[in-house]
């Protein structure tokens, strides 16, 4: 019997990322709490939505106990992230939220139709969805932290493949190759001048005696370094973007720069020390309000570029190389790569970026999309063309053809085991209770904590 080899823990998060659900607005009761991890709850609707996520992607859902266990582990990660101070940049959350809301507008036709369908204001719906998105991003970041040292060798992949009976080889989902050409929305001179003046005011306060680190924590929009007082640690030459590094290396220890502009925004930099080919700096970063940037310029630019490609006077890969402002893909002719395997073949399933998945689902191979607004991972507003280069239909696994996919499956299996081990070691750090209805589910031995009062939880 053929089957799809999948990872409940990892695919569950991916499926939930594609589900713009708002509970009661869709007729699902939210007043049944079925598990609790510290101050985080698993609702019956969470379990139902997780099941429907698999069904919606034509996948057979795991058993309810497996899904509940995965949901509990996700809540466990949220609780531990709170303990370990693991945070996600708000701009990353906003980017994903914007992508989901744009898709909903496409599906419903207008914002007014969304409000009428859910019976809630757009602000309320966005607030509810933002909480979901933020939690999902934190869970992903915790997964990365837990599994960062997990590695797979070719021998591991061969051993995995050879152990599968020939009549039970995994059925691989469709995969695609996609290219993109990206143009960023640019802040106006007035917006940059306002940010520059704010940084100059901060610099003046530091020069009068206020603490750089304290002001970095308060004002810097680089969340990762901001929590550390703007400290970036030691960096080798050539690692930081050129404008930043050039300005930092001109400074003397403890000296501050003037305002420096880079692709990331505007910086106030202080050099702390140098050590051979390395230097130690900290900064305060301010970025434009990307929600207020005008997208008409990059949209018109890409419209013209698309026309040139369609009349065959310019090849897509050449246009991407010469005109795309996304440095990560431009040199490869715009070709996107799977973040886990590094392959240009990406699975067309719930693990794919949500807005891209929906767009490709309506496109033909060989076609180019209209200019599409989107938000980058670091929160920038941009517009892009998508090129649907190739599609390989679902098929029975072949070791040579599907090596990268099989490698990803083995890697995910190892990561799952690492997460299982982490959970068993960390379970004592939080309090887990499971509703008596699910007493037969062995959530890593937590059934003894079942609490009758959970069945009456909620509103």
Residue intervals of the chain classified under CATH 1.10.4030 are 8-152+398-456
Beta-bridge partner residues of 275: 278
Mean pLDDT, rounded, of the chain? 83
Q: Can you read off the two tokens belonging to residue 99?
A: 């992508």
Sheet of 372-375: strand order equals 346-347, 175-184, 381-392, 372-375
Q: What is the CA radius of gyration of the chain?
A: 24
Q: Does residue 383 contact residue 182 with C-beta atoms inside 8 Å?
A: yes
Residue 260: which pLDDT band, with cuts at 50, 70 and 90? very high
What are the Cα distances from residue 240, in Å, to 24, 109, 237? 47, 43, 7
352: Cβ–Cβ under 8 A, 6 or more apart, which residues? 346, 360
109: Cβ–Cβ under 8 A, 6 or more apart, which residues? none
What sign has the CA pseudo-torsion 371, 374, 380, 381?
positive
Q: Does residue 348 contact residue 58 with C-beta atoms inside 8 Å?
A: no
Residue intervals of the chain classified under CATH 3.10.50.40 are 174-186+293-393, 189-287
Right CATH for 174-186+293-393 from 3.30.70.270, 3.40.50.920, 3.30.499.10, 3.10.50.40? 3.10.50.40
Residue 5: which pLDDT band, with cuts at 50, 70 and 90? very low
Most confident of 120-129, 291-300, 314-323: 314-323
- DSSP state, 181? E
Q: Give yes or no for residue 357 having a pLDDT over 50.
A: yes
- The secondary element (H helix, E strand) that includes residue 167 is none
N residues, the chain = 459
- DSSP state, 120? S
How far is residue 298 CA from its own chain's centroid? 24
The residue that leads in pLDDT, 355 or 206, is 206
First to last CA, the chain: 45
Q: Phi and psi at residue 265, in whole multiples of 5°?
A: 140, -150
What are the Cα distances from residue 3, in Å, to 68, 228, 377, 397? 22, 48, 34, 10
Right CATH for 189-287 from 3.10.50.40, 3.30.565.10, 3.10.110.10, 3.40.50.720? 3.10.50.40
Q: Can you read off the two tokens belonging to residue 135?
A: 């939690």
Q: Helices then strands (H, E): number in the chain?
A: 16, 13
Burial class (CB in 10 A: 0-12, 13-18, 19+), 1: exposed
Cα–Cα distance, 428 to 425 (Å, whole number): 7
Of 7-16, 132-141, 408-417, the poorest mean pLDDT is in 7-16
Q: Give yes or no for residue 24 having a pLDDT over 50.
A: no
Q: What is the dihedral of CA 323, 329, 334, 340, to 10 degrees?
A: -170
- The secondary element (H helix, E strand) that includes residue 221 is none
Sheet of 33-37: strand order equals 40-43, 33-37, 432-434
Residue 18: closest CA among 41, 50, 64: 50
Q: Can you read off the two tokens belonging to residue 313?
A: 């006077």
DSSP codes of every residue in 380-408: -EEEEEEEEEEEE--EE--TTTTHHHHHH
Amino acid 2: pLDDT: 34
Cα–Cα distance, 423 to 429 (Å, whole number): 10
- β-pair type (381-392, 372-375): antiparallel
Residue 340: which pLDDT band, with cuts at 50, 70 and 90? low
Amino acid 188: pLDDT: 85
Q: How does pLDDT run across 220-249, given as a tens digit for each residue?
A: 988 778 888 999 988 888 888 899 999 999
Q: Does residue 32 contact residue 44 with C-beta atoms inside 8 Å?
A: yes
Q: What is the CATH number that goes with domain 8-152+398-456? A: 1.10.4030
Q: Give yes or no for residue 195 having a pLDDT over 70.
A: yes
What are the Cα distances from residue 341, in Å, to 89, 153, 232? 25, 12, 29
How far is residue 236 CA from its own chain's centroid? 28
Q: How does pLDDT run across 360-414, given as a tens digit for each residue?
A: 989 999 999 999 988 887 677 899 999 999 998 888 888 988 888 888 889 889 9
Cα–Cα distance, 206 to 418 (Å, whole number): 45
Q: How does pLDDT run across 70-91, given as a tens digit for each residue?
A: 888 889 889 888 888 888 887 7
Amino acid 1: pLDDT: 31
Cα–Cα distance, 378 to 92 (Å, whole number): 6
Of 160-164, 182-186, 213-217, 352-356, the poorest mean pLDDT is in 352-356
Residue 9: which pLDDT band, with cuts at 50, 70 and 90? very low
Q: Can you read off the two tokens belonging to residue 445?
A: 């031995």
Helix spans in 189-325 (H):
189-207, 212-219, 223-226, 242-249, 296-310, 316-323
Q: Give yes or no for residue 261 having a pLDDT over 60.
A: yes
Q: Does residue 271 contact residue 248 with C-beta atoms inside 8 Å?
A: yes
């Amino acid at each position: 019997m053929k089957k799809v080899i999948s990872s409940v823990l990892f695919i569950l998060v991916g499926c939930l990322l594609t589900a713009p659900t708002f509970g009661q607005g869709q007729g699902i009761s939210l007043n049944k709490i079925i598990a609790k991890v510290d101050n985080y709850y698993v609702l019956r609707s969470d379990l139902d939505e997780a099941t429907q996520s698999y069904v919606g992607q034509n996948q057979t859902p795991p058993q309810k106990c497996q899904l509940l266990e995965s949901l509990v582990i996700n809540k466990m990660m949220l609780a531990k992230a709170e303990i370990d101070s693991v945070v996600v940049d708000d701009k990353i959350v906003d980017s994903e939220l914007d992508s989901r809301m744009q898709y909903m507008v496409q599906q419903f036709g207008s914002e007014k139709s969304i409000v009428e369908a859910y019976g809630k204001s757009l602000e309320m719906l966005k607030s509810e969805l933002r909480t979901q998105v933020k939690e999902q991003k934190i869970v992903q970041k915790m997964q990365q932290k837990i599994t960062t040292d997990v590695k797979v060798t070719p021998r591991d992949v061969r051993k995995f493949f050879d152990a599968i009976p020939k009549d039970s080889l995994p059925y691989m989902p469709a995969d695609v190759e996609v290219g993109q050409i990206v143009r960023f929305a640019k802040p106006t001179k007035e917006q940059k001048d306002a940010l520059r003046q704010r940084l100059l005011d901060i610099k003046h306060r530091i020069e009068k005696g206020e603490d750089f680190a304290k002001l970095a924590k308060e004002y810097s929009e680089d969340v990762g370094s901001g929590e550390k007082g703007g400290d970036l640690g030691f960096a080798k030459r050539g690692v930081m973007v050129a404008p930043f590094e050039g300005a930092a290396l001109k400074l003397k220890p403890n000296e501050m720069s003037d305002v420096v502009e880079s692709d990331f925004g505007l910086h106030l930099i202080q050099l702390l020390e140098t050590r051979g080919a390395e230097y130690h700096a900290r900064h305060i970063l301010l970025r434009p309000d990307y929600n207020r940037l005008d997208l008409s310029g990059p949209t018109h630019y890409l419209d013209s570029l698309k026309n040139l490609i369609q009349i065959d006077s310019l090849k897509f890969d050449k246009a991407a190389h010469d005109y795309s402002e996304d440095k990560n893909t431009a040199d490869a002719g715009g070709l996107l790569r799977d973040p886990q395997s590094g392959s240009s073949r990406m699975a067309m399933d719930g693990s794919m970026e949500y807005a891209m998945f929906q767009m490709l689902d309506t496109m033909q191979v060989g076609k180019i999309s209209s200019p599409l607004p989107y938000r980058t991972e670091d929160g920038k507003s941009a517009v892009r063309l998508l090129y649907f280069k190739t599609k390989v239909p679902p098929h029975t696994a072949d070791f040579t053809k599907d090596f990268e996919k099989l490698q990803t499956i083995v890697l995910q299996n190892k990561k799952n085991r690492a997460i299982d081990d982490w959970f068993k070691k960390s379970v004592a750090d939080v309090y887990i209770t499971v509703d008596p209805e699910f007493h037969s589910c062995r959530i890593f031995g937590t059934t003894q904590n079942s609490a009758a009062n959970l069945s009456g939880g909620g509103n």
